[in-house]
Structure 1
Amino acid sequence: MKKTGIITILNVNNYGAELQAFALHHKLKHMGYDNEIINYLYYKNPLYKSEVDSRPLIKTSIKNKLKDFALKWIDKYSAFRYPEIAKKRKLRFFDFHKEHTSLSKVYKSYSELYEAKLDYENYVVGSDQVWNPNNGTNLAPYFLTFAPKEANKVAFASSFGVGEINESYYSKYKEWINNLVHIGTRETSGVELIKNITGRSVAHVVDPTLLLTKKDWEGLMVPYKHENPYILLFIFKKNSYAEELAYKIQEKTGFKIIRVCKNEMPLESDDKILNIRDFGPLEFLGLYSGASVVLTTSFHGSVFSLIFEKPFYTITPASKNNNSRQESLMRVVGLENRLLREGDNVDLDKLTDVDFDYVKEKLGEQIDFSIDYLKQSLK
């Protein structure tokens, strides 16, 4: 059997991105598919080479350019100020993929990918926000337009990351989507978008991280050694509402707060909070496994809360309406009350009121459907 090639977001120093990429690769391997990840660098990777053909469909706004610039500056400043932390984190991410993930040669640019003579039987575009119109790069590779015309082209859990797209971009999206033979998307909003754009009915499948069981993830993780219960605070940037909620839970329970983060100046740890910046994917899993409560602003933070069966709240910005990823997931498992908007009041007497037996039942149905979709779609 020829290999299956997977393209997705990878090598961006992000827990969710790296773990979802690994999960699909790992699951397909155990299903009997010889596969590897096509190591096409995401445009945010510092080694990526931008070209004329890799320009995004939507011109990047000044605001987003400034945001990307600021985050890069913060990362560089942090690496300069805390070189040992930055070095250890980077090495842990590198070692994770070196040991656990099969990767192709590196393609550093759009032209390198399209000029490559690839010979996979199945081409799969994986999960994460690969179809987000606001990504600052040409999305064509994530619709497998680099693959030979006759190849079997499959989308699994690919996400738009938004609930709607300006209709002026429908024609280009229709062209891209119709290049795919089989389509499974991660959110119900994605199913509806594709129906509106192309008229095609497509599958609603789970994020790849859910294809692996709690036992699977525990077999990989590096356990976090701790003596006392803790609240895990997993957020991407400073969030006063999340921090205040963590302190309220701490006051009620006496638990310590552990904050795992990246793109922010480190706060000094004190007797109430411990900040961790140097953990890799496997150490991150260990933190989740050991937590008593989780507060997160991350989609994959929500997913791993479900996998490890942790009482949690997912916090979304009050000013934005692009929470389709979290909303879709919470509807599937009946936990809409665990999705908070900044400013919401929370009844902490119901902190641990999560029926994980029901969650496992509903997720189990979706997972079984998703595995069947893969079996039917791949040669």
Structure 2
Amino acid sequence: MNIGILTFHCAYNYGAVLQCYALQKHLESLGFNVTIINYTPFYLASKRPKVNLRTFVNRHPILSLNRYISFTSKLQRQFDKFLEFSDLHLNLSKKCKSYDQLSSVISSLDTIIIGSDQVWSETFNGKDSVWYGQFPNFKGRVITYAASAGDVNKFKTNIPEVLEAIKRFDSISVREVDLQNTLSEYGVNDAVTVVDPTLLLDKKSWSVFLDKPIESEKYILVYQGRDDDALMNYAKSFGTIHHCKVISCDFYANSFQDGISQCVAGPKEFLNLVHNAFCVITSSFHGTALSILLETRFFAFFKGDGGDIRAKALLESLNLCNRIIDRNSLPCANEEIDWNTVEEKIILLKERANKYLLENA
């Protein structure tokens, strides 16, 4: 059976690329032929992080300019690493930028799986109908896997249009219980909750990317899902207590400050950094998920702005809510996590995901 995955594989975001890779590999392990539908409309391809020159401005113009040029170069090298990972590890179809081009790619598929990631969030999906299963000439099955809408309150603002659009789906699975409950509230009672694709691969499966440590010093890895000075201040205080270097591989302006080291990392290098960190401090869902998978001590930093819902659902399902911190938390002891118990819970979540995929793909 030929399956096509439609997701945000082309985003310059670690979680977006790695969840796509994970779903591809897991489906292959179940015996399917898998293609990543290389759909790169402008609204996705143009979402590259930008570094503002004003971030580097100080009383020394030449020094400011040199720092800006240096970091711009690092940013480009990071983009190149993303492209290299995709070329080497994703089974990409030919590139398609429009619906007409997309139609020719999907014609040979038996099933299209939309997801995972925030494919139903208008912040990212460009209000594009394809993310809601709208392929008028496609005769195969169309399902979702672990679709997310991000903030469900924003999702509800367009609920009439969404409910009409998703009638095309043969089966729906979502990533968060909150989204499942929202759909049920509006009469979609057959949606199920499944685990994020990154959790479908175990630590051994990810270990192919875990070379010798990139960093020789003991370090804390900071990875922001949204920029937050409070997170950075917490990380620096935590680093001081534990005598750790603090490393960031995101490109938010607050990452370029004294006491924070920048690291150029594609998806492969990011996994290496997570795995070998003394501790990960993150406000990113996938930063949290991958820390759990690689059995790295972590803290999930919550801003309380609605963007924490996804990580909260995951941590609740694994009984790890004690890893949640916020701007009022004090730097605390880095207590150990019972990874054997966590793994047992993940196995149960994977069994549910396998049942869904085998019955509906």
Structure 2 matches for 1:268-279, cutoff 5 A? 272-276=259-263, 278-279=264-265
Q: CA RMSD in A?
A: 2.7
How many angstroms does 1:212 deviate by?
0.7
The 1-side partners of 2:273 and 2:170 are apart by 39
The 2-side partners of 1:149 and 1:167 are apart by 28
How many angstroms does 1:219 deviate by?
1.2
Partner of 2:37: helix, strand, or coil? strand
How many angstroms does 1:220 deviate by?
2.4
Could you tell me whether the CA contact under 8 Å between 1:79 and 1:86 is conserved in 2? Answer: no
2:288 maps to 302
2:340 maps to 357
How many angstroms does 1:215 deviate by?
1.0
The 2-side partners of 1:36 and 1:147 are apart by 20
Q: Structure 1 residues 44 and 340, CA, compared in 2 at 3 Å: closer, same or farther? A: farther
The 2-side partners of 1:227 and 1:166 are apart by 44
- 1:366 maps to which of 339, 349, 357: 349
How many angstroms does 1:199 deviate by?
3.0
Deviation digits for residues 106-163 of structure 1, max 9, x if unmatched? 1113454357662210111021100014446124211221164531111101101113
- 1:87 maps to which of 66, 71, 76: 76
Q: 2:261 corresponds to which letter in structure 1?
A: L
Could you tell me whether the CA contact under 8 Å between 2:151 and 2:307 is conserved in 1? Answer: yes
Q: Does 1:284 align with 2:270?
A: yes
Deviation digits for residues 49-103 of structure 1, max 9, x if unmatched? xxxxxxxxxxxxxxxxxxx89x54649x998654532332122111111111111
Q: Structure 1 residues 376 and 74, CA, compared in 2 at 3 Å: closer, same or farther? A: farther
- 2:199 maps to which of 189, 210, 215: 210
Could you tell me whether the CA contact under 8 Å between 2:38 and 2:92 is conserved in 1? Answer: yes
1:376 maps to 359
How many angstroms does 1:225 deviate by?
3.4
TM-score, normalised to structure 1, is: 0.84
1:39 maps to 38
1:97 maps to 86
The 2-side partners of 1:7 and 1:197 are apart by 25
Q: Structure 1 residues 145 and 326, CA, compared in 2 at 3 Å: closer, same or farther? A: same
Could you tell me whether the CA contact under 8 Å between 2:4 and 2:113 is conserved in 1? Answer: yes
The 1-side partners of 2:342 and 2:36 are apart by 31
Deviation digits for residues 246-269 of structure 1, max 9, x if unmatched? 122222211221111124376266
More deviation in 121-130 or 149-158? 149-158
1:56 maps to none
Q: Structure 1 residues 134 and 100, CA, compared in 2 at 3 Å: closer, same or farther? A: closer
1:328 maps to 313
Deviation digits for residues 257-299 of structure 1, max 9, x if unmatched? 1111124376266xx54211x2111011111110111100110
Q: Structure 1 residues 147 and 232, CA, compared in 2 at 3 Å: closer, same or farther? A: farther
Could you tell me whether the CA contact under 8 Å between 2:133 and 2:166 is conserved in 1? Answer: no
More deviation in 181-190 or 156-165? 156-165
Could you tell me whether the CA contact under 8 Å between 2:43 and 2:126 is conserved in 1? Answer: no
Could you tell me whether the CA contact under 8 Å between 2:227 and 2:252 is conserved in 1? Answer: no
How many angstroms does 1:24 deviate by?
0.7
1:61 maps to none
TM-score, normalised to structure 2, is: 0.88
How many angstroms does 1:306 deviate by?
0.5
Partner of 2:149: helix, strand, or coil? coil
- 1:132 maps to which of 98, 121, 127: 121
